[in-house]
Amino acid sequence: MSGMTTTTSTYDPAGAPSSEGAPAFEGVSAFDGAAAFEGIAARAAETDATGRIPARNWQDLADSGYLRLFHPPEVGGSGADARTQADAMEALARACSGTYWAATVSALLCGKLISTYGDLRHHEPLLRSLLSGEKLAAFAVVERTAGSDAGTFRTTVRPAGAPGGGFVINGEKSRITNAPVADVAIVLARRERPPGDDGPDWCLAFVDLHRPGVERYEIAHMGLRGMPWGGMVFTDVPLAETDVVPVPFEELAEGMAWGWLKNSFAAIAVAESALTASVRHARERVSFGRPLAHMEGVQAQLAESRAQIDAARLLARRAMGERAAGRSARDLIAMLKIYATEMGVEVAARAVQIHGASGVTQGHEVERLYRDAQMNVIGGFTSNRLREQVAEGIGLGPAVYSAFDWVAPAGLGQDPAGLDGPPRPEGTAPEKP
């Protein structure tokens, strides 16, 4: 495909956590998140400006134990409780949203997809490599011409030939986190079923992205600029039978809900950072002879932001608790994703207003936060589609189109009378006054 280049990975797995010393979060129910990710936070502006996550960030993540929090010790995790997971997610997202997205997509979202749908007899080594930081994963769903509408997806897995000969995958996935640098992709694909196979039409394919037939490219993006983002093209890429997992499409939302949770904590973190910057600026900036913080309009904006952030955080912690306890909470997480991500944009927009011209200056913290906030709304699943799912959950049925004549019952199907009165039969003269 013209214009495509194979990108060089900037992901550096060096420095996977050793057995000596306890990671920052392992077995701890509370911690100093600012200290744990202090280096990542100090490099956040550089990460955004260069569009690359520094190798040192990956080292810090491995050393902290963050990648292991979301899984039990039996598969290489640390089995952290819900509070620790929530605290760590928000702390990392506050430090650097781009780093948070890249790491959490791999360790949390892809890790959960592997442990939930894969066969650990075959896939445990892959899962362990994600949790140690040795490898990085991408979850490939969206395609170049298709976003939330799975009915238009074209990427397909088909048998390679004789029974037992494995499979091949063909297609393209685009606008995927970690695509340019990942080692493995969990790919949502159609399944070309052989005769006699009445299984699901969809599957998750675990694709080694270093195999022949894989091309990758980068895509420039508005926010989360440090996060690797781009596409991958598969041309007859071979797959082992064990790496193709048939999954009913309606079950996939359970796994994808981990991604909605990821976005929600990112949004809360962005909003908290934006509010902190706004309060600091309001105290320091003097206008018309008094600090901005003494102006009623500014106070109202800051108070509104505080209330919204705390409301979103309470909902997020409830959802994380439900999920960590093994309960679905899918509808709850859908509502959370809608509220938290749109709240993040509102709070960031207020921060821009409070900062004035500084807030729209390239390189300013608030300008970066505003760009990052937008990505949380779109990524994972758009808010409008989630609203439809929530509506279904309260008994309104699926959002489907059916033809409806709204004109005739409203009496709008008749031509209105003009200045000359109602329409006259043809061949008749107008009445004389």
Q: Tens digits of per-residue pLDDT, 90-112?
A: 999 999 999 999 999 999 999 99
Q: Distances in Å between the alpha carbon of 28 and those of 85, 114, 128, 150, 314?
A: 10, 25, 21, 40, 20
- Point out which residues pair with 330 in neighbouring strands: none
Q: Tens digits of per-residue pLDDT, 277-308?
A: 999 999 999 889 899 989 999 999 999 999 99
pLDDT band of residue 9 (cuts 50, 70, 90) is: very low
- For residues 117 and 86, give the distance between their C-alpha atoms in angstroms, rounded to a whole number: 24
- For residues 60 and 17, give the distance between their C-alpha atoms in angstroms, rounded to a whole number: 9
Listing DSSP states for 65-95 in one string gives: TGGGTTS-GGGT-----HHHHHHHHHHHHHH
Q: Tens digits of per-residue pLDDT, 164-208?
A: 689 999 999 999 999 999 999 999 999 998 778 888 999 999 999
The average confidence (pLDDT) of the chain is: 87
What percent of the chain lies above the pLDDT cut of 90? 68
Rounded to 5°, angle at Cα 384 from 379 and 388: 120
Q: Tens digits of per-residue pLDDT, 49-83?
A: 999 999 999 999 999 999 999 999 999 999 999 99
Are residues 105 and 139 in contact, defined by beta-carbon separation less than 8 angstroms?
Answer: yes
CA-wise closest residue to 61 among 31, 96, 27, 28: 96
